[in-house]
Amino acid sequence: QVQLVESGGGVVQPGRSLRLSCAASGFTLSTYGMYWVRQAPGKGLEWLTSISYDGSYIYYADSVKGRFTISRENSKNTLYLQMNSLRTEDTAVYYCAKCRVTYDVDDAFDIWGQGTMVTVSS
Partner 1 sequence: DIQMTQSPSSLSASVGDRVTITCRASQGIGNCFAWYQQKSGKVPKVLIYAASTLQSGVPSRFSGSGSGTDFTLTISSLQPEDVATYYCQKCDSAPLTFGGGTKVEIK
Binding positions for partner 1, rule: CB under 8 A:
35, 37, 44-47, 50, 59-62, 95, 100, 106-110, 112-115
Q: Coil, strand or helix: which one is 90?
A: helix
- Min CB(16)–partner 1 separation in Å: 26
89 exposure class (CB count in 10 Å sphere: 0-12, 13-18, 19+)? exposed
- Min CB(10)–partner 1 separation in Å: 20
- Min CB(35)–partner 1 separation in Å: 7
Q: Which amino acid type is present at position 50?
A: S
- Min CB(40)–partner 1 separation in Å: 12
Cβ nearer to partner 1, comparing 22 with 50:
50
CA 22 to chain centre: 7
Strand partners for 56: none
State the Cα–Cα distance between residues 104 and 122, nearest whole angstrom.
40
Cβ nearer to partner 1, comparing 12 with 24:
24
Cβ nearer to partner 1, comparing 48 with 120:
48
